[in-house]
Amino acid sequence: MIDVKNLTKRFGDLVVLDGISEHIDKGECVVVIGPSGSGKSTFLRCLNLLETPTSGEILFDGVSMTDPKTDINKMRQKMGMVFQHFNLFPNMTILRNITLAPVRTGRMSKAQAEAKALELLERVGLQDKAGSYPAQLSGGQKQRVAIVRALCMEPEVLLFDEPTSALDPEMVGEVLDVMKLLAHQGMTMVVVTHEMGFAREVAHRVVFLDGGKLLEQGTPQQIFGAPNNERLRSFLAKVL
Amino acid sequence: MEQFKAWQALMIAGEPTTLWQQFYVRFYQAFIENDRWQQYLNGVGTTLLVTALALTLGVVLGIIVAVVRTAHDQQRPGRHNVVLGVLNSILKVYVTVIRGTPMMVQLMIMGFVIFSSSRDYVMVGALTLGINSGAYTAEIIRGGLMSVDAGQMEAGRSLGLNYADTMRFIIVPQAIKAILPALGNEFIVLLKDTSLISVIGGKELLYAARGVVSRTYEAMYPYIGTAIIYLLLVMLFTWLLDIFERRLRASDRR
């Protein structure tokens, strides 16, 4: 579904991503781990072109994301993204946060979008918050709304950029539960996270980045049970 | 009227007069004699008209300049739009020239050089002030647009919304709230700067006062009166702006 070929990203002289190649299948849940500054977030943000790669190619369903002729807005409609800091729109109600994009991009009528939004909100237990504003919600609630907002576009893949890192510890669980549910329903997901428990339990595949290089990848059993790479071993020793 | 005439005669004759008599005569002379208060009133009307016209023009220009310059700066690397680039350079020159020259000089160039054949001084004045205000408003609005968290733009774009929609529904509404105090400030400066158009013959409040001074040879009352009128106007608008701002903020904490 997503093909990354020799992806490189430089900020000035700083090489953040150094020739990464990856393939993500439909229905797969891939968890990206690595120390901070390893390029995990940049890798994720390159997938939907929030960062423009310096070189390399990203194919989504066979369409090149990096080709200037590609309609990037159309492509992004198929790729939802959930941010560390939620990035809900503070000037709109929850319902409008969720329905703005589906309606404005012509995917759904207003009535369709609202029905869908309410259905999704109910699934994450927030149906009574539809008329609230983001400022009235807790961090965990905001992140669940952000997931619903991404889901309402009916994306083919969801990108999670450290979705629980900005949350109070007691709210991490409620967000992870929603993500687990999505993974079990077969949603294609790429998750950058420090939640090793989530990676072990839910991921089909774990990818380890360090220094902008993809150093090791494999099933959670391989990565956590029998890591080969020296850097990965010392990283795991510190976080587990 | 009779009292004024009588006391005025006393003063002209150099007879001793009380402070109250002097105040009465000068005040009467400055504001009441020959219905002079009407000149001030008309002046205030012109002042408000010029302010409204210049403010509208300034905000429209400011939005255009700010949006073009922000859009130019936010282009993805490697995908530079040539039209936007040219437009951006032109607007940069506009902002530089307008902010780099005194308003008085701009007024004189507009009034005596570019529109030297025009008799409509009020319109020339409003146009000049609007163009001037636009350059400052542009920077205020640009600052507002930049003050909105970058994550908001990213969130909008990641949902597949295009740049224009993200600006319109997400960034601009948040920016407006942030720039309202600065915009109010610009509005007050503009209101007071309308007094400058008297130099090209715009018949606003200060022009009226100067007319009275030249006829009565008495400067204090017309000018202090003018100052008080400006002060009252500014206080009135500050109060209105406060109410408006508080309304916007209140909707923040629903």
Q: Give the pLDDT mean for B109-137.
A: 92
Residue B254 scores a pLDDT above 60: no
Q: How far apart are CA A66 and CA A54, in angstroms?
A: 10
Interface of B with A in 131-160 (CB under 8 A): 149, 151-152, 154-160
Q: Give the pLDDT mean for B169-173.
A: 92
Q: How far apart are CA A120 and CA A149, in angstroms?
A: 9
| Residues on A contacting B at a C-beta cutoff of 8 Å | 48-50, 52, 68, 73-81, 83, 85, 87-92, 100-101, 104-105, 132-133, 135-136, 149-150, 153
Q: DSSP for B174-224? A: HHHHHHHHHHHHHHHHHHHHGGGGGGGT--SHHHHHHHHHHHHS--HHHHH
Instruction: Tell me if chain A has a CB within 8 Å of the CB of B253.
Output: yes
In this prediction, what percent of chain B has a pLDDT beyond 90?
56
- pLDDT reported for residue B251: 60
- pLDDT reported for residue B250: 66
Q: Give the pLDDT mean for B186-213.
A: 90
Q: What is the pLDDT of residues B22-70, one digit of tens each?
A: 888 888 888 888 888 888 999 999 999 999 999 999 999 999 999 899 9
Is A85 buried (19+), middle (13-18) or exposed (0-12) by CB count in 10 A?
middle
Q: Do B157 and A76 touch (CB under 8 A)?
A: yes
Q: What is the pLDDT of residues A91-107, one digit of tens each?
A: 999 999 999 999 999 99
Residue B228 scores a pLDDT above 90: yes
Q: Do A87 and B161 touch (CB under 8 A)?
A: no
- Band of the pLDDT at B244, cuts 50, 70, 90? confident
Closest CA to A74 of A44, A53, A48: A48
Q: Measure B163 CA to nearest chain A CA, in Å.
A: 9
The pLDDT mean for chain B works out to 90
- pLDDT reported for residue B4: 86
Q: Give the pLDDT mean for B107-116.
A: 92
Residue B128 scores a pLDDT above 90: yes
Q: What is the pLDDT of residues A37-75, one digit of tens each?
A: 899 999 999 999 999 999 999 999 999 998 888 999 999
Q: Measure B162 CA to nearest chain A CA, in Å.
A: 6
- pLDDT reported for residue B110: 93
Q: How far apart are CA B69 and CA B79, in angstroms?
A: 15
Q: Do A89 and B170 touch (CB under 8 A)?
A: yes
- pLDDT reported for residue A104: 96
Q: How far apart are CA B18 and CA B23, in angstroms?
A: 9
Compare all CA atoms of chain B with the CA of A51 and give the residue at the minimum distance. B76
Is A218 buried (19+), middle (13-18) or exposed (0-12) by CB count in 10 A?
middle
Residue B77 scores a pLDDT above 80: no
Q: Residue A139: CB partners within 8 Å, gap ≥ 6?
A: A86, A166, A167, A168, A171
- Band of the pLDDT at B15, cuts 50, 70, 90? confident
The pairing of strands A205-210 and A29-33 is parallel
β-sheet bridge partners, residue A217: A207
Q: Which of A187-191, B11-15, B74-78 has the lowest mean pLDDT?
A: B74-78
Q: Tell me which DSSP letter residue B33 carries.
A: G
For chain A, which residues score pLDDT lower than 70? none
Q: How far apart are CA B229 and CA B210, in angstroms?
A: 15
Q: How far apart are CA A3 and CA A22, in angstroms?
A: 6
Q: Give the pLDDT mean for B94-102.
A: 95
Q: Which of A86-95, B77-86, B156-165 has the lowest mean pLDDT?
A: B77-86
β-sheet bridge partners, residue A33: A208
3-state secondary structure chain A: CEEEEEEEEEECCEEEEEEEEEEECCCCEEEEECCCCCCHHHHHHHHCCCCCCCEEEEEECCEECCCCCCCHHHHHCCEEEECCCCCCCCCCCHHHHHHHHHHHCCCCCHHHHHHHHHHHHHHCCCHHHCCCCHHHCCHHHHHHHHHHHHHCCCCCEEEEECCCCCCCHHHHHHHHHHHHHHHHCCCEEEEECCCHHHHHHHCCEEEEEECCEEEEEECHHHHHHCCCCHHHHHHHHHHC
CB neighbourhood size of B154 (10 A): 18
Compare all CA atoms of chain B with the CA of A83 and give the residue at the minimum distance. B155
